[in-house]
Structure 1
Amino acid sequence: MKRGLLIWVPLAVFVALAALVLYGLFRPDNTVIRSALVGKPLPNFALAPIAPGKPGLAAADMKGGVRLLNVFGSWCIPCIAEAPQLMALKERGVEIDAIAIRDTGPAVQRFLNENGDPYARIGDDPRSQVQLSLGSSGVPETFVIDAQGKIALQHVGPINANDIDDILKAVEDAK
């Protein structure tokens, strides 16, 4: 009798694991990431310029008007995918600054030449120190910064065409 029950144990384990996997596949995603820094001032930073003809970036530059702060890398494939949306936001009057993560000047310049240049300033963050102080763990990430230099929104991942209206609303709400 014991042996008969032991034969069913692997099947029971398999069914339990399959049920767990199916639960994970079909439960709704929660893609909203709540940043601990939303509503708080930008951390203080000053980054040297990385691209020829572009000034560097400091937290003090982010005050006085609503702006986007885009964290990107020239080596980042999703950053290339979001470039047209950043250009569209620039065309709609949104001011955009950037932080280049672990990058080089020639690579950033090539990225801008090939994908468009929506940025007023680009700071060089060679060790990701400012990126981490912003609560950003990857690229791309975009922050809406209000006129007082506070973070109004953190958008994790590439901005796609469906995100443009939400970003514009966040910019308008931050005014």
Structure 2
Amino acid sequence: MIRQRIKLFIPLAVFVVLGILFWQGLKLDPTAMPSALLDKPVPVFSLPSLEDPEKPVTRDIFKGKTSLMNVWATWCPTCYAEHAYLVKLAEQGIPIVGVNYKDDVPAAQRWLRELHNPYIINILDADGRFGIDLGVYGAPETYVVDENGVIRYKHVGVVDQQVWDNDLKVFFE
């Protein structure tokens, strides 16, 4: 008889445990996705440039200056939302390297012509392998790469004034 009464409380106990886990999950930052590459060099790559597919780009592009590396695509509505702010940063002298991720080349070239090109160069990652090496979850993602080609920070989601002021600006001061 006592066993039967205890069995009645099992669903309640499961519900309470799940409720506690759910409550804790609400406190987590959904954009906080740690990167295994923090404080490690940008992975070795040799990929074509979106602007000139005959010209290979390597990780040497990051040597000598701290840069943002922005993973973007025309199929990404969030990339569209952040694009104007990236143009603003580029106009202020912030070097931004684009990684055009799994995209249609003519569409990407048209996007940059029409919306302005904030990138000093665009790496064409047509098959997404470079993105896999970086640990990309989706677009947009932005990395801070120091003057030695080492990844110092990763941001998932839109880069806007708040993200710049709170997270990225410090790397460029």
Same fold (TM over 0.5): yes
Percent of pairs identical after alignment?
Answer: 31
Residue deviations 1:119-142 (CA, integer Å, cap 9, x gap): 111111111111111122211111
Corresponding position of 2:87: 87
Aligned counterparts of 1:52 and 1:116: Cα–Cα separation in 2: 17
Aligned to 2:43: 43
Q: 1:119 aligns to what SS in structure 2?
A: coil
Q: Distance in 2 between matches of 1:90 and 1:112?
A: 13
Letter in 1 for 2:27: P
Q: How does 1:2-41 map to 2 (within 5 A)?
A: 5=5, 9=8, 13=11, 16-17=14-15, 20-21=18-19, 23-25=21-23, 27-30=26-29, 31-41=31-41
1:148 aligns with 148
Question: Shift in Å at residue 170 of structure 1?
Answer: 2.2
Match runs of 1:97-136 below 5 Å = 97-136=97-136
Aligned-pair Cα RMSD in Å: 2.7
Contact 2:141 / 2:155 at 8 angstroms: preserved in 1? yes
Does the CA contact (< 8 Å) of 2:71 and 2:100 recur in 1?
yes
Note if contact 1:89-1:164 (Cα within 8 Å) is conserved in structure 2. no
Q: CA deviation at 1:155?
A: 1.1
Per the normalisation by structure 2, the TM-score is 0.82
1:75 corresponds in structure 2 to: 75
Whether contact under 8 Å (1:67, 1:144) holds in the other structure is yes
- Cα separation, 2, equivalents of 1:159 and 1:25: 28
Unaligned runs of 5+ in 1: none
The offset of 1:5, in angstroms, is 5.0
| Residues 113 and 17 (structure 1), Cα distance of their counterparts in 2 relative to 1, 3 Å cut | farther
Q: Distance in 1 between matches of 2:12 and 2:115?
A: 49
Q: Can you give the 5+ residue segments of structure 2 that lack an aligned partner in the other structure?
A: none
Give the alignment's TM-score, normalised by structure 1.
0.81
**Shift of residue 114 of structure 1?**
4.1
Task: Compare 151-160 and 22-31 and name the one that shifted more.
Answer: 22-31
Q: Helix, strand or coil: the match of 2:41?
A: coil
